[in-house]
Structure 1
Amino acid sequence: MSKLCVVGTGPGNYDLITPEAIKVLENSDIIMGYEKYIKLIRPAIKNKSLEAGPVTEELERAKKAIEYVLSGKTVSIISSGDSGIYGMAGIVIELVAAHNYDIDIEIIPGITALNSAGSLLGVPFMNDFCSISLSDRLTEERDIIKRIRAAAEGDFVTALYNPVSSKRTELIKKAREIMLEYRNMNTPVGIVRNAYRDGQEVHISTLDKFLDIKMDMVTIVIIGNSMTYRYGKYMITPRNYGNKYEL
């Protein structure tokens, strides 16, 4: 029976793709995705029909995948990280629901960019946290700013996806200004670029200085909460064990 699979491939390192994701890809007739993500996982998709395209063609890719499935093919669309977090699973299910297509959809989870970056920094997410994308391509800037302020006021550890693009450079500055209204200037900030890929960079800075570090669309910025501290190469957000037990 034909099926549409939306597969999270993790950060791109072959060793961090789940066995289930590899099995699904091997059993697909056609594999579709952003050309860069296809390239990252080529060892898992030998001898398969591949359709790679630009990152901005999510809607067209989802429509074409549905057409293939309706014609009897099993198709996998890949997303880096987890397909259900800023990934392709969203547009696929929205399209199917909008047109009431009777097709089988399977979503295969993957290691998120947030998980990947967090593991390289230590334990920044050991207490309550949130993630916010600074991309204003599909979300209005005013809504992004409202969410940043809510995260800052709520003292959440905050992961910022898509912090800077070639055209969007000011929103990360506004995010910093808002956070500084609620947090100490020395609050640890982790910056991870190309997590578990070639060119990986891991930095720990502070809220007042982190803008000095290179950032782009493959960067995750993790801003600690009021309790987060630095220990050597690690960011630590305490789980409050020290308040209940003698460490």
Structure 2
Amino acid sequence: MQLGHLNQIIPQEKDFKVELARYWQPENRFVIVGSVGAITRLIAPIIRGKDLDPAILVLDPGGEHVIPLLGGHSSGAERCALELAAELGGTAVITSSCFYERRLPVDCFGEAWGWRRSGTAESWRNLMKNQARAQPMRVMQNSGDRRWLNATIFPLIDMVEAGSIDFFIGPNHYEGCSWHPPTLWIGVGCERGTSITVLRRGIARSLDEAGLAIEAVAGLATADRKANEPALLALCEENRWLLRTYAAENLATISAPTPSETVFKEMGTASVAEAAALLTVGNKGSLLQTKRVYHASKSEKGAVTIAVAESTIAIAPQRGELHLIGSGPGDPALLSNDCKGALSRCSCWVGYKLYLDLIEPLRQPEQIRFDGELTKERDRCSEALELACQGARVALISSGDSGIYGMAGLALDLWLQRTKRERPKFQVHPGISALQLAAAKVGAPLMHDFCAISLSDWLTPWHVIEKRIKSAATGDFVIALYNPRSKDRDWQLAKTQDVLLKYRRHSTPVALARQLGRENESIKLTTLEALIPEQVDMLTIILIGNSSSYSKDGMMLTPRVYTGTQ
């Protein structure tokens, strides 16, 4: 299981009922192998309610069917079942009306965007009942990405600025169903050794006074000198918040509403809490609450100063995920189970429009497409990384294998430029490359040493490409040519042919594979001399044999052993 579905396996010698009760928390997910009836009887005595129960998934012994038995929406069992089934090559048996009517699961969709939920189980239950009756939903959104509205939503969403609403998206505390994007930053100043209980109380009271929800907090901001403060570190760990710290000279550049001469003498800046919060949210952000000071009770230590600011964008890289998906040559049937599982997990699909079209049958209504343009690879990588840093689960999709002329390298380069604590999860999921499928279609041309060369000089100068072509020719490599010819690059293939003819026999077999894995797929065998560059385009991959390669009866073969070696 590549996505980390199983963090712990309960050994057979342990009392399963005891272990089940021990881990019976809403944030946990159990995958239990066995019959639905037996497992239902097993968990029935300890079921406590939607807000209190974990996700329970039942898997048959053959791994063919995954059933979300408990916590389908509230604990993410349905989404986990889809991921697990895709990875195992099985089927998720989902019986909820929301899934089969292709309705937006309003009670769980925000999690995949990195948002946190508030509201009672009863209020969410009533909202889902109204949605099932096809009643349009009135929604107010004050923060967070609005592109979730591009989902295939049924029933309709009516976005409003005031009046009665069905659910709310924003930083404010709302008595009802709410999703909270992580846009709030808590500026903190504290005495050394301040008790974590003082810090908790100060934050809770400040947020409550301002009418803000703790679920909307992205992190804490303070001075560098507080970077190792135990209470700050523990609270960030406890809530999965970021901690950002700043040098005193940087904090001193911020014009804070309530500066303090005492703080300046101690810290070298007249403001810590307000300045740190404002510095974090930037020029477009705003201070929602000026500083408040909270002191320790008799059983506590220290004091804390709290200020609250809001960013215009959500920031939660620790919740986000960036999955590099190799979608294969085009046919969804050739997509690996690993890739299918990752796609099922992600709320945002980023890629070139053609590649997204090819895997469109796999997309669920709540999953949003971000269609990009050809040659705009950096833009797509940047957009995908930004979404993941907001807390979203993102699939960045390449054709073939994302690590072979795909998006993985550029995405990783941008990811590595961020500090470790500002990086979302990063994972590459391999796919079937065009050269692999082309080879399979024509026989066995890659049975000896081979190389791949892209003829596109968009990112690599031609003199470097030409040097590689000559080296591959003199080294007697089987050669796979990517991006062989386009309307704007109509001479490189002919030049390559001329170079190779100086080192290879004219009868060297050549395979032309066009539109692999797609409806208009075509495969043609020719020779190096007979190759006509004008009949090749960007949708073609070319395989050129070595000195031992030959073609016969419509097949191409490169023997594994050179003549005379045995």
Which bin holds the TM-score, normalised by the shorter protein?
Answer: over 0.9
Distance 1:64 1:14 in 2: 24
Amino acid at match of 1:164: R
Deviations 1:122-177 (A, max 9, x none): 11100000000000100000000000000000000000001000111111111111
Q: Say if 1:244 and 1:227 are closer, same or farther in 2 by CA, change over 3 A.
A: closer
* 135, 145, 166: which one aligns with 2:456: 135
Whether 2:414 is the aligned partner of 1:85: answer: no
Q: Say if 1:182 and 1:244 are closer, same or farther in 2 by CA, change over 3 A.
A: closer
Distance 2:498 2:562 in 1: 31
Deviations 1:206-228 (A, max 9, x none): 11111267211110111100000
1:12: which partner in 2?
330
Q: Say if 1:98 and 1:228 are closer, same or farther in 2 by CA, change over 3 A.
A: same
* 174, 177, 199: which one aligns with 2:498: 177
Distance 2:441 2:546 in 1: 18
Q: Aligned residues: percent identity?
A: 39
Distance 1:94 1:139 in 2: 17
Deviations 1:61-104 (A, max 9, x none): 11111111111111011000000010011110011123334221
Taking the TM superposition and a 5 Å limit, the aligned residue runs for 1:25-174 are: 25-47=343-365, 48-100=367-419, 101-174=422-495
Question: Please, which runs of 5 or more residues in structure 1 have no aligned partner?
Answer: none
SS for the counterpart of 1:149 is: helix
Amino acid at match of 1:69: A
SS for the counterpart of 2:466 is: helix
Q: Say if 1:227 and 1:2 are closer, same or farther in 2 by CA, change over 3 A.
A: same
Distance 2:541 2:562 in 1: 27
* 216, 227, 231: which one aligns with 2:548: 227
> TM-score, with normalisation over the residues of structure 2?
0.42
SS for the counterpart of 2:473 is: helix
Distance 2:377 2:533 in 1: 32
Q: Which structure has more RCO (C-alpha within 8 Å, separation ≥ 6)?
A: 1
Q: Say if 1:213 and 1:200 are closer, same or farther in 2 by CA, change over 3 A.
A: farther
Distance 1:104 1:67 in 2: 12
Distance 2:436 2:547 in 1: 21
SS for the counterpart of 2:350 is: strand
Q: By how many angstroms is 1:35 displaced?
A: 0.2
* 342, 352, 370: which one aligns with 1:24: 342
2:231: which partner in 1?
none
| Worse-matched range after superposition: 87-96 or 42-51 | 42-51
Distance 2:537 2:565 in 1: 41
SS for the counterpart of 1:160 is: strand
Q: Say if 1:63 and 1:212 are closer, same or farther in 2 by CA, change over 3 A.
A: closer
Q: By how many angstroms is 1:192 displaced?
A: 0.6
Distance 2:382 2:561 in 1: 48
Amino acid at match of 2:320: S
Deviations 1:221-240 (A, max 9, x none): 11100000011111100001
Q: By how many angstroms is 1:241 displaced?
A: 8.1
| Worse-matched range after superposition: 23-32 or 207-216 | 207-216
Amino acid at match of 2:552: Y
RMSD of aligned alpha carbons: 1.5
Q: By how many angstroms is 1:243 displaced?
A: 5.7
Distance 2:458 2:515 in 1: 22
Distance 1:154 1:94 in 2: 31
Distance 1:211 1:223 in 2: 14
SS for the counterpart of 2:324 is: strand
Q: By how many angstroms is 1:242 displaced?
A: 7.4
Distance 1:241 1:59 in 2: 43
> TM-score, with normalisation over the residues of structure 1?
0.95
Q: By how many angstroms is 1:59 displaced?
A: 0.9
Distance 1:153 1:26 in 2: 46
Q: How many residues align?
A: 245
Q: By how many angstroms is 1:204 displaced?
A: 0.6
SS for the counterpart of 2:417 is: helix
| Worse-matched range after superposition: 210-219 or 43-52 | 210-219
SS for the counterpart of 1:77 is: strand
Distance 1:83 1:184 in 2: 34
Work out whether residues 322 and 426 of structure 2, in 8 Å CA contact, stay in contact via their aligned partners in 1.
Answer: yes
Amino acid at match of 1:42: E
Distance 1:19 1:116 in 2: 17
